[in-house]
A and B are shown apart, each in its own frame.
Chain A
Amino acid sequence: MTRTPETTLADLSINAPLVERILVGFIQSEIRRTGLSRAVVGLSGGVDSSVVTFLAVRALGAENVLAVTMPYRTSSEETRRDSRAVIEQLGVATRDIPITDQIDAYFARQPDASQLRRANKCARERMTILYDQSAEFEGLVLGTSNKSELLLGYGTQYGDMASAINPIGDVYKTQLYQLGAHLGVPASILSKAPTGDLWVGQTDEAELGFSYADVDRLLYLMVDRRWQGEELRQAGFDGEFLRQVADRVRRSHYKRRLPVIAKLSHRTMDRDFRYARDWGT
């Protein structure tokens, strides 16, 4: 059982217009400084990719945003409908590229593959398509991983976690709903249970074993406000819940970093060869 303290301890409310302004400016600045003016988003019909598509359109204009839908045969009708609603509302350029053929061809030779392997393979297949479309459309791939997912490692490395720039990586899931409501994301997207649509009936919260509302409050206090374990327990968080979440954050840290390079020289990438990515722009 999870007990969570008063919401006042962890106020996750945001000033949505201010956040929108900062994130729209971020997309404009980080894309234009590369000499490009367009963006590519993988649109699933969930709140994360919908919010990113809305932000991209505000930043770059609908004609400069390509929304790519990449359904697998098990993808639900609901996600297809919600993606279409976003595309129609925004008038963005769009391509529908199903991944069923190549995924099924691969797993025909790997019949014992687990559900997790299949889900990861789908995520990576979508990534390769987005990067290919990025070259064709001459736009950067926008990331759609939120802060909750990134901290929990709830994503596929080099799959849905891969992108050129990510406008929502410092926004908790709970906050994304506030931002989505402000931006005018369709109500059907904001009201449904979060799902990666990884297999039929899958929901994030059932798979994780806790709700975003609970874990976001904990992560905010633990990560952003630097509360320690005993303080969190005294504030009413369940000890087992605390341990489980802290473990997830630690064990998934490799996903948030570049591969470790064995050091030999005086200057090694990312260790003592340090430049901003926006070097010279």
Chain B
Amino acid sequence: MAIKTQPAPVARVKTEPAKTPESAQSPEPVGQPAPDRWRVALVQMAPVLGDRRRNWALHKDRIAQARDQGADLVVFPELSLTGYFLRDMVPDVALPLDSPEIRDLVEVASPAALSLGFVEQTPGAKFHNSALFAEAGRVVHVHRKVYLPTYGLFDEQRYFAAGQRIQAFDTKRFGRVGLLVCEDFWHLSAAAIMQAEEVDMLVCVANSPARGVQGQSIATAETYQYLCRAYALLLGAVVVLVNRVGYEDGLCFWGGSMVVGPDGRVLAEAPQLDEALTIAEIDPAELRRQRVITPLARDERLLLLIEELERIKRRRYDSHS
């Protein structure tokens, strides 16, 4: 794997193939990054389908590697503890949020923050496609995927209950953070909510398959590039995308995880199709600078938006009630 160095002044990126624990070695002294920079590890991995125990071991290994490289946030893809095409396995691989497995991984990562994906069992035997965010050894937020795609090759509403909230949350180190899961990111409303939430960092964890390998590129990869860059620019926030790789039943997940700065420039990019652990170094001062240059969020008319949505709601729903 080539080590890429981006010319962008605000970030350095280093991508390495994921290693086994025996061969893992720290490429540079631990704990030396500039203290004000965020070091985000994008863990582009291929979980074993439906084998939570092996995936848990895989998480521990990747967290250790990321910590060795001084990461202060380690991000795994959607459903990283279980794999994607679970179908009837969903109830068998589900975990409550307070399970020992999750607690263990949160503790192993600490003091670095951690985001991972899992099937969450909630009271009433409901199963959610969830992602959590933990900081300083404590889970601070769970996002339950709201938009469950059920078209084409996707069949998520058959197995999962939809999340009911899209909310940002405060962190100690990374300011206000928003967390979305894959299809949520394709809905403009989710991005609009995150803009209203005034997030500093928007994290999207994905299991995006190569769908439409026609012409010169992977259609889904192109779309994600557009979305990440547009959202970063429009929100004036850092956008972090972590997508998985590997194959399930002939379906190929394309990877291509990336970090985009608040000016819409790609700061770090993992390779397509291969496993990788990519470290992106982000200068949070760039958030302020970009908001001075282009203060879109400042000028946003939130009350106008709410009023117009209320009007549209009356037009589209009230006449049917």
A19 touches B213 (CB 8 A): yes
Contacts of A276 in B (CB 8 A): 49-50, 85-87, 248-249
Contact with A along B66-96 (1 / 0, CB 8 A): 0000000000000000000111110000000
A25 touches B217 (CB 8 A): no
Contacts of B250 in A (CB 8 A): 26, 30, 165
Contacts of A26 in B (CB 8 A): 247, 250, 252
Cβ distance A224 to chain B, nearest Cβ, rounded Å: 7
- B27 sits at the interface (CB 8 A): no
Contacts of B273 in A (CB 8 A): 21-22, 25
- B227 sits at the interface (CB 8 A): no
| Interface size, chain B (Cβ < 8 Å) | 23
Cβ distance B83 to chain A, nearest Cβ, rounded Å: 8
B248 touches A280 (CB 8 A): no
Contacts of B86 in A (CB 8 A): 276
- B101 sits at the interface (CB 8 A): no
- B287 sits at the interface (CB 8 A): no
Cβ distance B56 to chain A, nearest Cβ, rounded Å: 15
- B215 sits at the interface (CB 8 A): yes
Cβ distance B210 to chain A, nearest Cβ, rounded Å: 6
In Å, the complex CA distance between A26 and B252 comes to 7
- B256 sits at the interface (CB 8 A): no
In Å, the complex CA distance between A165 and B247 comes to 13
A15 touches B215 (CB 8 A): yes
Partner of A224, one of B214, B216, B247: B214
Partner of B218, one of A13, A18, A224, A279: A18
B215 touches A13 (CB 8 A): yes
- B51 sits at the interface (CB 8 A): yes
- A278 sits at the interface (CB 8 A): yes
Measured CB to CB, the nearest residue on chain A to B50 is: A280
Q: What 10 A-B pairs are tightest by C-beta distance, nearest first? A: A29-B247, A276-B85, A274-B87, A15-B216, A276-B249, A274-B88, A22-B252, A280-B50, A278-B249, A278-B248
Further contacts, 10 of them, CB under 8 A, given A18-B218, A276-B87? A14-B214, A15-B215, A18-B216, A25-B252, A26-B250, A26-B252, A29-B246, A224-B214, A276-B85, A278-B248
A-B contact pairs, 23 of them (CB 8 A): A14-B214, A14-B215, A15-B213, A15-B216, A18-B218, A19-B213, A22-B252, A25-B247, A25-B273, A29-B246, A224-B214, A273-B88, A274-B87, A275-B87, A275-B88, A275-B89, A276-B87, A277-B249, A278-B248, A279-B49, A279-B50, A280-B51, A281-B48
